[in-house]
């Protein structure tokens, strides 16, 4: 019975510690907070291209922002990740998505019919 009580006390103390740690982070300001979480990339999608069409990122969570400057919808899909759709943008939209990747060489493309064939593909090097 006393063991259970000890464990509960410990959990409460740990939770309070975590809250303090988070508060401490906030006091340091926002600079670098986004970068620490992973790598962020901004791509322009036009009719029919990606700019840039070659990306590199450290392994982990990779953030892709897709700015659609074209006249039709475009997607950012990673072939080796089971054709996972990372982000979709309609014309004039800028949307952001994330994908978790291990080290390797990946191919990304737009899966709107005909777009990949028209040139909407590129490579993503994850190290
Ligand atoms: Cu497209």
Kindly report, residue by residue over 49-84, the tens digit of the pLDDT: 999 999 999 999 999 999 999 999 999 999 999 999
User: Cα(115) to centroid of ligand 1, in Å?
Assistant: 5
Class at the top of the CATH hierarchy for domain 33-126: mainly beta
User: Cα(118) to centroid of ligand 1, in Å?
Assistant: 9
7, pLDDT greater than 60? no
What's the whole-model pTM score? 0.71
Residues 14-43: pLDDT tens digits? 444 444 444 444 333 334 334 445 689 999
Q: Where are the domains of the chain?
A: 1-29, 33-126
Alpha carbons 51 and 123: distance in angstroms, whole number = 11
Alpha carbons 20 and 61: distance in angstroms, whole number = 26
User: Cα(49) to centroid of ligand 1, in Å?
Assistant: 8
Question: What integer pLDDT is reported at residue 59 of this predicted model?
Answer: 94
């Amino acid at each position: 019975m006393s063991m259970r009580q000890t464990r509960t006390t410990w959990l409460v103390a740990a939770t309070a510690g975590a809250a303090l740690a988070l508060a401490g982070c906030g006091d340091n300001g926002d600079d670098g907070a986004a970068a620490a979480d992973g790598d962020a990339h901004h791509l322009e999608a036009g009719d029919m291209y990606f700019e840039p069409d070659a990306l590199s990122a450290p392994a982990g969570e990779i953030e892709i922002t897709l700015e659609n400057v074209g006249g039709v919808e475009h997607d950012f899909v990673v072939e080796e990740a089971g054709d996972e759709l990372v982000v979709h943008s309609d014309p004039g939209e800028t949307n952001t998505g994330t994908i978790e990747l291990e080290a390797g060489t990946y191919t990304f493309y737009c899966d709107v019919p005909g777009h990949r064939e028209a040139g909407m593909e590129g490579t993503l090097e994850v190290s």
